[in-house]
Structure 1
Amino acid sequence: MTAVSRWRYAVWTVVVLYLGYDLVGSMINSAGVHGWGGVALDGGLHVLGLACGFIAYRWARYSVWWLAVTAALGLAEHSHLQFAGTSLMFLAVWMAPFRTRLWQAIALTVAVTAAFIGTSLAVSLEGYAIFGLGFALGWAGFLGAVLNQLGVTRRQTVAIAEAQANAAVLGERQRLAREIHDILAHSLSAQVVHLEGARLLLEQGRDRDVVLDRVVRAGDLARAGLEDSKRAVAALRGDQTPLAEQLEQLAEQFRATTGRTCEVTVTGDAGQLTPEAWLAVVRTAQEALTNAHKHAPEASVTLALRCAPDWCELEVEDTGGATTGSAGNGYGLVGMRERAELIGGTLEAGPAGGGFRVRLRVPA
């Protein structure tokens, strides 16, 4: 049993004991003042009032009217025998915030309190008793409203927490799907192309070295895809390598593959980046280097990473030169821009000084 359930049971235990005590006390006092006829009248009013209160508790429709009837029966009992039926009035104003709208609960509390004061004056109740019970009725309504609002706030907090948890799970699934698409889909599709080409070359009886070159390229793609997968898993776990070191590895791969220069400069502290931002920077650098290799085969490249307390910027620029004349396809600039926007960053790409520049800025 939770703490909230224990509290609810404790409150209802006190309410039931109070209602029972008031019923028994009213019957005893009525027997002494009005005899058995008074007992039957007051007992009937009390039981009927409890029944109306139970209906209001069980069914929300017209609950404000059922509570009003409950309070009216309590007032009738009070007018017949002083102090009798006060528990019914307290029951009505206490339940009102939980079973009706706030303005209805306020209106009912004010009406019941005013009616009690008027009835008490009519039956010549002592002034201190009128003041005390009238104040208590108003306080009961106020306390009920506060407790109800606390319950509503708690339920809303739980709902918001569940929604945030669901959103986090969905975001994690989308991130995993994006990484799988960016790495495996690209790598495997390229391998299929090379292996299918090797099969066709073998069927045509082409030169062995040409076929072998296709197989070697497929193997290189498989190894590159495996390394990218390991890198993505490490980033998702939060134990990725330092960003400057990772950029230097990409530059070294570019130099080894193309034989061209690729300089890396890092300014500021890149260690404060989130795993998502880290992946965005690495993927952008990787894609920009791939594009430079494909579309500007004679260009040298510079990688510049600049970090500030609130942001981190990557700039990849090549020197241009001869181009292949192909615009390329696949992940490309659109994929890089989408990845940046998903984490609140921006990406700019376009010609610069005879070459091509890609600039990514992500929040730190």
Structure 2
Amino acid sequence: MSHDLFSPLEIRGVRLKNRVVASPMWQYSGVDGMPTDTHAVHLGRLAEGGAGLIFQEGTTVDRKGRGTVGDLGIWDDSLVPHYARLVDLVRAGGAVPGIQLIHAGRKGRRNPPWAWREPNPPAAEDWQVLGPSPLPVMLDGYNLPIEMSLRDIQETVDAWAHAARRAQEAGYDVLEVQAAHGYLIHTFLSPLSNHRTDDYGGSPENRSRLLMEIIDGIRTVWPADKPLFVRLSCVDVDWGIDQTVELVRELRGHEVDVIDCSSGSLTGRPVFDTASAGYGYQVPYAEEVRARTGIRTMAVGHIVHAKQAQAIIEQGRADLVALGRELLYNPNWPMDAARKLGVPDPYAQAPSRIAYWLAKRDGGFEGFAPSTEGTR
């Protein structure tokens, strides 16, 4: 059975109105972990633009897991009402609210990307940079991590479960575990960054142990009718697609529903091979993981145009497409794409108070074209 970009998708007990997903995008605007009006504006406009699923930025499970001072955090019960407000905003815009949970690991205690030349924030007892082994990111400006003790690991596993419980209490419908891009879980998975000799290092089974314990802990508190996503760097230094496939086969047995297929960043670089970073450059990873494991996948990476996204879904290369910076450029991309693809009533992706006026505008005179199509 073929599907298209604007066909609904049901995962467990959650129904997405279309296959367009807003990726988690850091705003660097939190105040001691709390969201601000910046987050409300960002998530609200994405929801009203018509995406089916909106992911909140990587939200840290522990103060020690922060990447920057402005990171969001869900490490305390007192924060739940602040996130419940964001959930309500996204749902009111017509989208499903999702949250990505993260621990920055050895990429912690940093400045925002545009201030990378400035001195890093000072060390503190509640902001130690942690990793599986005391090995730094091989780029200037990163802090040397402290090797995590077994107690550190257990506390971190517990922190993920507590964070998932709070996400459930706040009302999120989808949860994603960030296990890619050189953050904590990714550094445990890779033999390049994990040189441990205990039960969390060495063999592939041991290196994946932290991820599996985190997933299992989350599933004790995350409802059975709500989906669980995992973001993976499917290809990276000393890591190939075959290793990803084996890992995903194991994750399927731990009640994971969707693999968010990215790549790279273990060594600090945003992609594994920058020479290959063209349109949809990571889509082949989503396609291969899906074909070889049978699990649903989400494609990411320079997905920009309506026909491009439509082809990914229509050809069965992925079940969802996630856009990031393109939605910063055009938050109404889903409506725009629906119109360009000839979807009946394309503005139905947005709330009726917006859809009504846009449909009326289209019928204003013969030959009308919106700014994303016109030549004037």
Q: Which has the larger radius of gyration?
A: 1
Higher RCO (C-alpha under 8 Å, 6+ residues apart): 2
Q: Does the TM-score normalized on the shorter chain lie above 0.5?
A: no
- Please identify which structure carries the higher helix content: 1
TM-score (norm 1): 0.22
